[in-house]
């Protein structure tokens, strides 16, 4: 497993998401206030970027902008159709004002 720096904390506004490419991983970094989550950026229903969708703080989800599927940022499971398969989740660490994500060895 490898830890990779994605950005500084202040580079991502609260209640927003941003896409990062880390090796073969397309990752959506989501910020809820001071908490950060990382899930796979590609909707499991169709090839659309989740980071372009709406961040729902109350439901702790990221929505696919194209077809409306919602994905839990906690475990990547789809909360609504048409998506039925989960997206991957990644471990996030905030340290010294920077946001890091852990990806599998050999994928960075």
CATH code assigned at 91: 2.102.10.10
Say if 9 falls within a structural domain. yes
The number of domains in the chain is: 1
Query: Token digits for 11?
Result: 């580079």
Beta carbons within 8 Å of 85's beta carbon, 6+ residues apart: 44, 45, 78
Say if 108 falls within a structural domain. no
Its domain, for residue 82, covers 2-103
pTM over 0.85: yes
**Tens-binned pLDDT, residue by residue, of the chain (108 aa):** 899 999 999 999 999 999 999 999 999 999 999 999 999 999 999 999 999 999 999 999 999 999 999 999 999 999 999 999 999 999 999 999 999 999 985 444
């Amino acid at each position: 497993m490898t830890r990779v720096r994605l950005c500084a904390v202040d580079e991502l506004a609260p209640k927003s998401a941003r896409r990062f490419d880390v090796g073969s991983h397309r990752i959506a970094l989501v910020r809820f206030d001071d908490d950060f989550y990382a899930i796979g950026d590609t909707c499991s229903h169709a090839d659309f970027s989740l980071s372009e969708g709406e961040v729902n703080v109350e439901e702790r989800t990221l929505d696919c902008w194209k077809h409306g599927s919602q994905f839990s940022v906690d475990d990547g499971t789809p909360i609504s159709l048409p998506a039925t398969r989960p997206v991957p989740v990644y471990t996030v660490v905030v340290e010294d004002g920077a946001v890091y994500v852990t990806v599998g060895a050999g994928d960075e």
